[in-house]
């Protein structure tokens, strides 16, 4: 006899669970990437502010060549901060995509579980109707044999 529909759904649900697990791992990885990007961005901004305040405090004590080098360095730091800000934005977008993918996988798995439950209920109702029909047939056959000859 062929397996019941509800039982055949087990493998489909298992595959959906694996896909959801994979999406969850990707989501976790994207969260770590975003956190690391944000940390790096904050460190760059703090270093820039520290260097800028130190540069402003010693502005009168340095030579023109050092002044030019310091300004160039601050410009490069500013560009690095902007670049890291873009990295953070990209990481945020990727995190949102990973969240959406996980949500999609989660909802699919839940709908498959709900479908399997509906199949189980339908199979139970069908079995109950079949048993009821057998009982009625048995009763009808008994009543047919018990009657007058």
CATH number of the domain enclosing 29 = 1.10.287.1700
pLDDT band at 3 (very low <50, low <70, confident <90, very high): confident
64 falls within a domain: yes
Report pLDDT for 149.
47
Domain count, the chain: 1
Instruction: Read off the pLDDT of residues 105-141 as tens digits, 9 standing for 90 and up.
Output: 999 999 999 999 999 999 999 999 999 999 999 998 8
For residue 50, tell me if it sits in a domain. yes
20 part of a folded domain = yes
What gap in Å lies between CA 55 and CA 62, rounded to an integer? 9
The structure tokens 């139970």 sit at 124
Q: Number of C-alpha atoms within 13 angstroms, CB side, residue 80?
A: 15
The Cβ-side half-sphere exposure at 128, using a 13 Å CA radius, reads: 6
Let me know: does 42 contact 80? Beta carbons within 8 Å. no
Q: Is residue 67 part of a domain?
A: yes
Is residue 97 in some structural domain? yes
The pLDDT value recorded for residue 64 is 74
Domain holding 71, by residue range, is 9-117
Q: Give percent helix, percent strand, percent coil of the chain, each to the nearest 5.
A: 95, 0, 5
pLDDT of residue 83 exceeding 70: yes
Residue 109: inside a domain = yes
Is the pLDDT confidence value at 147 over 80? no
Q: Is residue 131 part of a domain?
A: no
Predicted model pTM: 0.74
């Amino acid at each position: 006899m062929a397996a019941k529909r509800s039982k055949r759904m087990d493998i489909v649900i298992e595959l959906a669970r694996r896909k959801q697990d994979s999406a969850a791992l990707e989501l976790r990885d994207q969260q770590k990437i975003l956190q690391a990007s944000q940390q790096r961005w904050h460190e760059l901004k703090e270093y820039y502010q520290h260097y800028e305040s130190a540069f402003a405090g010693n502005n009168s004590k340095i030579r023109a060549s050092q002044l030019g080098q310091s300004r160039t360095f601050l410009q490069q730091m500013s560009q690095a901060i902007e670049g890291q800000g873009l990295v953070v934005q990209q990481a945020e977008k990727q995190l949102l995509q990973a969240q959406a993918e996980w949500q999609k996988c989660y909802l699919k798995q839940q709908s498959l579980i709900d479908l399997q439950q509906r199949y189980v209920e339908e199979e139970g109702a069908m079995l109950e109707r079949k048993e009821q029909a057998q009982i009625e047939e048995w009763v009808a056959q008994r009543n047919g044999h018990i009657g007058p000859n």
